[in-house]
Amino acid sequence: MPYVVGPKGQVVIAKEIREKLGIAPGWRVIQRLVGDHVELYFIPPEHRRSLKGFLRDHMNPVTKEEDWTDVEEKAWRKALEERWT
């Protein structure tokens, strides 16, 4: 669907495109002239929420009795099983 360039040179980005790319207010746009068209690259803003404790539920501390190599091997095996099964 064609859109009209506004008096300030602004263009509407179709809702379907914004939703598919996850574009939201506050994102930055890099414009690049390529031949006879313009390419737009969207950059999300830095997040403002804390990540403190984000991985807490996914952590299994290694005890003194365990060997780090064994723990690492188990973790890799589990990750592969989850991904490929």
- Predicted pLDDT of residue 47: 79
CA-nearest of 14, 19, 44 to 29 is: 44
**pLDDT above 90 for 84:** no
| The model's pTM | 0.50
Rounded CA-CA distance 15/27 in Å is 15
Q: Which helix (H) or strand (E) holds 84?
A: helix 68-84
* 43 contacts 27 by C-beta, under 8 angstroms: yes
Q: What is the pLDDT of residues 12-63, one digit of tens each?
A: 999 999 999 999 999 999 999 999 999 999 999 887 778 888 888 888 777 7
Write phi, then psi, for 34 (nearest 5 degrees): -125, 105
What's the CA dihedral at 49, 51, 52, 53 to 10 degrees? 120
